[in-house]
Structure 1
């Protein structure tokens, strides 16, 4: 394959995500069912399978982009979906471990339009449930029987270490007046890019891919992940609450040092100085002040810069995808998922 504009028919991104969810759901539920009962109830609530009393619900389970990348990564190197299912389950467990902990650390009371697990069950219970998901992820990979299981555990644990490093930096930024833009980008690479990269690499590993294919697909996922974070940070300021599930200007209200905010603060413009005064005011910002902060970010050029970086990263990701020499159909579907993940209205 030399070009991503292939003529081979492939599914849309949404069709791929629906297929991936259906493929992974049974094995994911089996993994959760093996948890201690106290952890199982919280995990199932977090996944949207039931309410706090254990009654089934139709809550939004999330897009499940990471498991889709695993399954497509396996197909991209000529492997079978069934062989990659344990890795797909593992990355979804790890992702949701991180979400349970993130919600506690960020104090977020809602996720996917419903109360977060810590808000329902308590902080300590949510933390323990997250720990249980992480342990289960490693157990699923170890018990997969795949010849690459040991290497896969190293890939997954390495991604978790980077994810934790990124989350640590993100929290530290809240206490710091000055954050260099390069440091903020590195934080996003670790916090978001690492697990998407690992998802693609794990799929290629479980699909029997060559070393160079594994590494190119890892780089594809990492760049898509960073592009996703740029877009997500833009949505954290200008996103539609009906889509994001968060109030307008949510990240500004929380004084989050997101990529566009740090880009604006370090721009050396008059807008940067005014934004700095607002961001470090020792009081809650009013709605007009939040609107002004968003305007200053745009005036500084940070909004356009962030959008441009997301586009450039997607272009770079596609180059790595071509270099991996994937099967045509998987290439088209990986590209479609990457474009969906980096849309401005997701």
Structure 2
């Protein structure tokens, strides 16, 4: 079993239950303040309600609350309190849901969190508008902070611009004849790294940390986001829909240039040549072609390269974290979360 896609120790994510206990009520309040139509889509997307707005009968599946946890723990890392950083935690989770709603529309993914994606239930317009509303709610969350609101808003705005640039590059890559590994990593730094970096930096900002410590937290989160994206790309090809709640193989079917594919396409062996020929087709890959493509990517070294890059980015993330000078206990918790994010099978 791959080192990066092995099972996550049960001792890691369940300990984030305290984050849910703090963040979920604030999230519900923020979503409840949206216009009724958008609140309904957002509630469904988060798994709180059915499509008709009725509360789910079973207990909603608890998310891993990773980004809010990074915000709250980053505040603790620099001597602040989780309560002070709560608006930042709410903001990054709202932005994360905004990106997921829009991503599913852009990619046409029909599954999200083990249920039909919001756009497939409510329509693309409703899903896009709900995402827009969540973005506004996120900005409101940090702008309402009694003090340090200007710095918090600036942090979030900067991350959002990077996120848009990363998303734009990701879409452009689909039509690009070739994408290099450095180009891919730059895209991942914006698409995924920017928000995780913002999550960590907001914890430091709202705790009143100095620039050096906030910078260390930001770089830790950014590098961790890239590592997470590398591992997520591996799961997108070799994971399991039953565990992840996301369609596996759809990126290959659409000939999307995820990191394993980018690395494999750059190879010089027979498998790389066969993969380049397969990817040159203008049409989505058929089911059997997806199976062939998966094998070619692995034979061409794409999986190994992506997993090695994830490990490298993780090491850089932990190195950056030292500049924030966290306490030993908080460092250990952040380290455990970081490892869990790149070593998982769902």
Q: Normalising to structure 1: TM-score of the pair?
A: 0.93
Which residue of the partner structure matches residue 19 of structure 2? Answer: 20
Summarize deviations over 1:5-47 as a string: whole Å, max 9, x none: xxxxxx9421332221111011111111111111111111111
Which residue of the partner structure matches residue 39 of structure 2? Answer: 40
**Aligned length in residues:** 335
Which residue of the partner structure matches residue 76 of structure 1? Answer: 77
Gap change, CA 1:124 and 1:160, over 3 Å in 2: same
CA distance in 2: counterparts of 1:247 and 1:69, whole angstroms: 27
Three-state SS of the structure 2 residue aligned to 1:326 is: coil
Task: Give the superposition deviation at 1:254.
Answer: 2.1
CA distance in 1: counterparts of 2:247 and 2:117, whole angstroms: 15
Gap change, CA 1:123 and 1:61, over 3 Å in 2: farther
Task: Give the superposition deviation at 1:285.
Answer: 2.7
Which residue of the partner structure matches residue 273 of structure 1? Answer: 273
Which residue of the partner structure matches residue 6 of structure 1? Answer: none
Q: Which runs of 4+ in 1 moved over 4 A?
A: none
Three-state SS of the structure 2 residue aligned to 1:54 is: coil
Which residue of the partner structure matches residue 53 of structure 1? Answer: 52
Three-state SS of the structure 1 residue aligned to 2:292 is: helix
Task: Give the superposition deviation at 1:278.
Answer: 1.0
Q: Normalising to structure 2: TM-score of the pair?
A: 0.93
* Stretch deviating more after TM superposition (220-229 or 240-249): 240-249
Which residue of the partner structure matches residue 218 of structure 2? Answer: 218
Summarize deviations over 1:247-304 as a string: whole Å, max 9, x none: 4423211211101111111223322221011122244433332222111111111211
Which residue of the partner structure matches residue 8 of structure 1? Answer: none
Which residue of the partner structure matches residue 4 of structure 1? Answer: none
Three-state SS of the structure 1 residue aligned to 2:179 is: coil
Summarize deviations over 1:325-344 as a string: whole Å, max 9, x none: 10122111111111111114
Is 1:264 matched with 2:232?
no
Which residue of the partner structure matches residue 161 of structure 1? Answer: 161
CA distance in 2: counterparts of 1:16 and 1:73, whole angstroms: 16
Three-state SS of the structure 1 residue aligned to 2:262 is: helix
* Stretch deviating more after TM superposition (264-273 or 49-58): 264-273
CA distance in 1: counterparts of 2:37 and 2:246, whole angstroms: 29
CA contact (8 A) 1:49 1:61 kept: no
Is 1:131 matched with 2:137?
no
CA contact (8 A) 1:264 1:300 kept: yes
Q: Which runs of 5 or more structure 2 residues have no equivalent in the other structure?
A: 1-9
Which residue of the partner structure matches residue 7 of structure 2? Answer: none
Summarize deviations over 1:131-190 as a string: whole Å, max 9, x none: 000011111111121x22101111111111111111111111112222222211111110
Which residue of the partner structure matches residue 143 of structure 1? Answer: 144
Alignment of 1:242-261 (within 5 A): 242-261=242-261
CA contact (8 A) 2:109 2:247 kept: no
CA contact (8 A) 1:264 1:272 kept: yes
CA contact (8 A) 2:255 2:285 kept: no
Is 1:63 matched with 2:52?
no
